[in-house]
Structure 1
Amino acid sequence: MRHLPSILLRLLATSMAIFPAAAFADNSVAISGATLVNKGLVGVGRIPANQRDKFGETFGSGSGMAMNPADWSRDGNSYKGTMLLLPDRGYNVAGTTDYRPRLNMLSIRFTPVAPGATPSADKQQSGVEAALTDTLLLVDDKGADTTGLDPQSDVRAAAGDFPMLPQAANGKISLDNEAIVRLADGTMFISDEYGPNIYRFSAEGRMISATQPPAALVPMRHGKANFSSNNPGPGAQAPDPKDPDTGRQNNQGLEGMALTPDGKFLIAVLQSAARQDGGDSSSTRQNTRALVYDAADPAHLKLVHEYVVPLPVFTNAKGKKAVAAQSEIVALSDKAFLMLARDSGNGYGLDGDTSLYRNITVVDTSAATDIAGSGFDADKAVAPKGVLDPSITPAKLTPFIDINDNANLSRFGLHNGAPNDRNNLSEKWEAMALVSVLDPKLPDDYFLFVGNDNDFLTQDGFQVGASYKAEGGADVDTMFQVFQVTIPGLHK
């Protein structure tokens, strides 16, 4: 794939500034001569909640997702390929466990319906067939196991090309993985929440480099780096204070990450604002940051741009302003990306049944202020108490796909809201990947795969040597929704 044409990006910025989102149909974003179109859901699939991985432990699901474009192929009306699905730090109820971070490989067969069509009742949720083919453990640079345990106050000192790293009390490097990018040589970038760092792993799962974000995003307590997320393991103590003084908020790390279509830049986005930027309150955490790295040397990423991204806001069930934290991105160029943002606390497996916000938005940074290397990367707040510094122009957002659209969901037997059954969307939708429809008549059409994170919720679970039943009695399947979209300019 290549860049969106520069003229398209300029038109994108202009159209977003001139035309309010309400001026467009719900399924498209007009861009003064070009249109990004959401043609709606064309397929749904499930993996049972009690699926076990290669090591006999509960599969979990998707905090991150990557497709291998080299083996994506079409066979008549069906497609097949390989998906990498990245779980996070394991099943957590009373704190974290010594779960070994890993990556699952899936064989995918996808048979879409035509846009707008309704599948027969017996095929509503079988359009995506996913079969586990392998599970890869992620180990550190010395070949030792890593862990999902909260790192508390432990730090592995910087050495060689590696920066200081989060380390659990058992001496293992702590990882809470959130997003994955597969490179053409089989190596992988994986972003996490503890650091929040970007790691590079070999195709065999061995850590080969690590990139620390700007100092402003490193979590600090009492003047020292402290990577705890306030989820202590068995018998461990909570951090003091429970929240960082500055840097990323607990459990709000580099949730979204993607490589630009030309392979030149890696974009990573913090889930919500850093503590000093309003991230100390759920109502003021709107101004997060997008980091753009030159990826010419994958072993030594170079920060070249950084922008403020104003997360979407909505009115919650109590009538108060709330911020929708972002969960994943797909890069369209070094100046534009799709961003999935959502609310929390609602969906199958939880007490709340109706989500008020789950949307995939177009983010344009072409007119935003570049703050890379400035005082904002040190000790100057971007948005103290949530109020954006007047010297900064943020990125522009335009809604694109409403994941909660019941008219769309109902064609596949799904819904958002009551009844809170297995066909109600689960809370967390956190993974995205884009692949071509491979149709010469539709050269700008793609399938956008969107996956959930089921938090390992099952009544037949097994992890870290013990069986478990998730609280609440639900079996939350791993699920995939696939949208067909038109994005001009993304030809291979």
Structure 2
Amino acid sequence: MKNIHPPVARAILLAALTALTSSVALADNSATVGGTAFVNKGLVGAGRIPANQKDKFGETFGSGSGMAIDQQGWTRDANGYKGTLWLLPDRGYNAVGTVDYRPRLNTLSIEFAPVVPGAAPQVGNEQTGVKATLTDSLLLTDNAGADTTGLDPLDGVRAAAGDMPILPEANGKIALDNEAIARLPDGTMFISDEYGPNIYRFSAEGRLMSATQPPAAMVPMRKGTANFASNNPGSGAAAPEPKNPETGRQNNQGLEGMALTPDGKTLIAVLQSAARQDGGDAPSTRQNTRALVYDATDPSQLKLAHEYIVPLPVFTDAKGKTTVAAQSEIVALTDKTFLMLSRDSGNGQGLKGDTSLYRSIDIVDVSAATDIAGTDFDKDKSAAPKGVVDASIKPATLTPFIDMNGGADLARFGLHNGAPNDKDNLSEKWEAMSLASVLDPKLPDDYFLFVANDNDFLTQDGYQVGAAYKAEDGADVDTMFLVYQVTLPGLTTHASQ
């Protein structure tokens, strides 16, 4: 080997060390699934909507239970990115039982100025990278144009009619607890809910067009009859008997996650945690939930194509017990893979518990999983008795990807997980996700992953259903956005919204 001048040698060594550090960092922030490497480049933006924001109807704006970004209108210029985002609230403020909140969809204009991955924002602007401005609010109505409601359907069942299956009903209105949205290019949208748990299709004007009921194994049953109550009775109403379903989805654990694949041909929906008969009757055994994969080539008539058992993450709680993290949202990458956000509960800003023990976005792969669609597991046979998966079933695989509680990533944006339990501590419920392209020809596989919280309408200046309110214990929780830059090889431009 030829002699190398010492300064040159030092430069070569420094370059080699830099390359090594970069490769280690990449390895630490990447996940390989099916031979494909997915990379998390970290948090690149954050933003807030004030807790006391009012919507078009003068009611508290509130939660982000579902989110969709307009892919066709997403643009980039020298100042950053602009676009339209739809944010779906759930059933309204219900600290003491549910209320007659009219389900709706909010439209936001978004301006986004990301920082370079790994860089720190300008001091004083840590949480202003995402600027969201409310531009419209749309009420969701039934197929006759009548109001729907967020009230708990304690004993209400609307009879099947035409192409509509039986539906949850309260005070003569279809009851909706909306959790996820997938928007099509024509403006129609799929919305999943907790109560059914059903998948609804609404027109661009917000009118119900169709409803898809899941397999019988997921329909909540009490005393041998479909009963859609969630044990959140409104004022003066009695609790259901029994309080929990005997089979089917657990109370408040419906189709929490739902998304269209980028080509718009497949719709995937996932129960928040295991069905009652699959171990969902206990927090420690509710790990094995179900993913429903629908053929959506004809949006007017979804067809169940596949169904898989998906293992939810487990973690050790503050008392040393193994606990299951329920999933809160998904983003479909292909008809075989999807991102899944799972979290613990009871901890975060606005609550007495301050430190989240699990809040993560993982990658689910069903490529080698057993397809149970149309089998006895869709009827009266348990897929995971007492939480143990039936020997004939191979579950999907779960690969860790983004730790949302990562301290260094949050700290760059003035945020944290845990004490002090102030406005910069992440709130409990992160339930909405959507992708938007980085629009960089040099980074064709890079996307911004927007994540938003469900703040449960917690504010000290609230107004809903004709009355002002203040959340308990002084809670005042903003609606927030976190944005990660991720590399997701193989995705095409989203045909859907």
Q: TM-score, normalization: structure 1?
A: 0.94
Residue 461 of structure 1 corresponds to: 462
- The two structures, once aligned, show a CA RMSD in angstroms of 1.2
For 1:30 and 1:143, the matched residues in 2 are separated by 47
Equivalent positions of 1:386-401 (< 5 A) are 386-401=387-402
Residue 86 of structure 2 corresponds to: 84
3-state SS of paired residue (1:70): coil
Q: Which amino acid aligns with 1:447?
A: F
- Residue identity over aligned pairs, in percent, reads 77
Deviating beyond 2 angstroms after TM superposition, the runs of 4 or more aligned structure 1 residues are: 22-26, 30-34
For 2:34 and 2:339, the matched residues in 1 are separated by 19
Q: Which amino acid aligns with 1:391?
A: S
3-state SS of paired residue (1:108): strand
In the comparison of the two structures, how many residue pairs are matched? 470
Q: Which amino acid aligns with 2:51?
A: A
3-state SS of paired residue (2:472): coil
3-state SS of paired residue (1:472): helix
Q: Which amino acid aligns with 1:52?
A: K
Is residue 431 from structure 1 mapped to residue 432 from structure 2 by the alignment?
Answer: yes
Alpha-carbon offset, residue 24 of structure 1: 8.3
Residue 336 of structure 1 corresponds to: 337
3-state SS of paired residue (1:449): strand
Q: Residues 33 and 365 of structure 2 are in contact (CA less than 8 Å); yes or no, is this contact kept in structure 1?
A: no
Is residue 132 from structure 1 mapped to residue 134 from structure 2 by the alignment?
Answer: yes
Residue 181 of structure 1 corresponds to: 182
For 2:284 and 2:472, the matched residues in 1 are separated by 28
Q: Which amino acid aligns with 2:52?
A: N
Q: Which amino acid aligns with 2:61?
A: F
Q: Which amino acid aligns with 1:248?
A: R
For 2:25 and 2:287, the matched residues in 1 are separated by 24
Equivalent positions of 1:95-110 (< 5 A) are 95-110=97-112
For 1:270 and 1:479, the matched residues in 2 are separated by 24
Q: Residues 26 and 39 of structure 2 are in contact (CA less than 8 Å); yes or no, is this contact kept in structure 1?
A: no
> Per-residue displacement from partner, 1:266-315 (whole Å, max 9, x unpaired)?
00000000000000000000000000000011111000100000000000
Residue 56 of structure 1 corresponds to: 58
Residue 314 of structure 2 corresponds to: 313
Alpha-carbon offset, residue 94 of structure 1: 1.2
Q: Residues 33 and 399 of structure 2 are in contact (CA less than 8 Å); yes or no, is this contact kept in structure 1?
A: no
For 1:212 and 1:51, the matched residues in 2 are separated by 34
3-state SS of paired residue (2:411): helix
For 1:405 and 1:369, the matched residues in 2 are separated by 34
> Per-residue displacement from partner, 1:350-382 (whole Å, max 9, x unpaired)?
000000000000000000000000000000001
Q: Which amino acid aligns with 1:331?
A: A
3-state SS of paired residue (2:124): helix
Residue 118 of structure 1 corresponds to: 120
Equivalent positions of 1:393-432 (< 5 A) are 393-432=394-433
Q: Residues 77 and 112 of structure 1 are in contact (CA less than 8 Å); yes or no, is this contact kept in structure 2?
A: no
Residue 323 of structure 1 corresponds to: 324
For 1:32 and 1:264, the matched residues in 2 are separated by 21
Q: Which amino acid aligns with 1:234?
A: S
Alpha-carbon offset, residue 205 of structure 1: 0.3
Q: Structure 1: any 5+ residue segments left out of the alignment?
A: 1-21
Is residue 37 from structure 1 mapped to residue 58 from structure 2 by the alignment?
Answer: no
Residue 194 of structure 1 corresponds to: 195
For 1:359 and 1:154, the matched residues in 2 are separated by 36
Residue 75 of structure 1 corresponds to: 77
The structure with the larger Rg is 2
Q: Residues 443 and 491 of structure 1 are in contact (CA less than 8 Å); yes or no, is this contact kept in structure 2?
A: no
Is residue 65 from structure 1 mapped to residue 85 from structure 2 by the alignment?
Answer: no
> Per-residue displacement from partner, 1:393-416 (whole Å, max 9, x unpaired)?
000000000000011000000000
From the superposition, tell whether residues 98 and 413 of structure 1 become closer, same or farther in structure 2 (CA, over 3 Å). Answer: same
Q: Residues 24 and 30 of structure 1 are in contact (CA less than 8 Å); yes or no, is this contact kept in structure 2?
A: no
Residue 375 of structure 2 corresponds to: 374
Residue 234 of structure 2 corresponds to: 233
Residue 204 of structure 2 corresponds to: 203
3-state SS of paired residue (1:352): coil
For 2:396 and 2:44, the matched residues in 1 are separated by 30
Q: TM-score, normalization: structure 2?
A: 0.93
3-state SS of paired residue (1:412): coil
Alpha-carbon offset, residue 34 of structure 1: 3.6
Q: Which amino acid aligns with 1:459?
A: Q
Q: Residues 286 and 312 of structure 1 are in contact (CA less than 8 Å); yes or no, is this contact kept in structure 2?
A: yes
Is residue 475 from structure 1 mapped to residue 476 from structure 2 by the alignment?
Answer: yes
From the superposition, tell whether residues 191 and 166 of structure 1 become closer, same or farther in structure 2 (CA, over 3 Å). Answer: same
Q: Structure 2: any 5+ residue segments left out of the alignment?
A: 1-23
Is residue 486 from structure 1 mapped to residue 487 from structure 2 by the alignment?
Answer: yes
3-state SS of paired residue (1:45): strand
Of 142, 145, 156, 2:144 maps to 142
Alpha-carbon offset, residue 33 of structure 1: 5.6
For 1:110 and 1:23, the matched residues in 2 are separated by 26
For 1:365 and 1:55, the matched residues in 2 are separated by 42
> Per-residue displacement from partner, 1:155-193 (whole Å, max 9, x unpaired)?
00000000000000x100000000000001100000000
Alpha-carbon offset, residue 324 of structure 1: 0.3
Q: Which amino acid aligns with 1:292?
A: V
Equivalent positions of 1:2-13 (< 5 A) are none
Alpha-carbon offset, residue 96 of structure 1: 0.2
Q: Residues 284 and 385 of structure 1 are in contact (CA less than 8 Å); yes or no, is this contact kept in structure 2?
A: yes
From the superposition, tell whether residues 193 and 141 of structure 1 become closer, same or farther in structure 2 (CA, over 3 Å). Answer: same
Alpha-carbon offset, residue 423 of structure 1: 0.1
3-state SS of paired residue (2:97): coil
Residue 3 of structure 1 corresponds to: none
Q: Which amino acid aligns with 2:399?
A: T
From the superposition, tell whether residues 346 and 368 of structure 1 become closer, same or farther in structure 2 (CA, over 3 Å). Answer: same
Is residue 249 from structure 1 mapped to residue 250 from structure 2 by the alignment?
Answer: yes
Residue 163 of structure 1 corresponds to: 165
Alpha-carbon offset, residue 74 of structure 1: 0.4
3-state SS of paired residue (2:72): helix
Alpha-carbon offset, residue 76 of structure 1: 1.5
Alpha-carbon offset, residue 26 of structure 1: 3.4
For 1:31 and 1:383, the matched residues in 2 are separated by 25
Alpha-carbon offset, residue 31 of structure 1: 4.5
For 2:490 and 2:189, the matched residues in 1 are separated by 26
Q: Which amino acid aligns with 1:397?
A: L
Residue 263 of structure 2 corresponds to: 262
Q: Which amino acid aligns with 1:299?
A: S
Alpha-carbon offset, residue 23 of structure 1: 12
> Per-residue displacement from partner, 1:22-73 (whole Å, max 9, x unpaired)?
9984311135764210000000000000000000000012000000111000
Q: Residues 327 and 341 of structure 1 are in contact (CA less than 8 Å); yes or no, is this contact kept in structure 2?
A: yes
Residue 360 of structure 2 corresponds to: 359
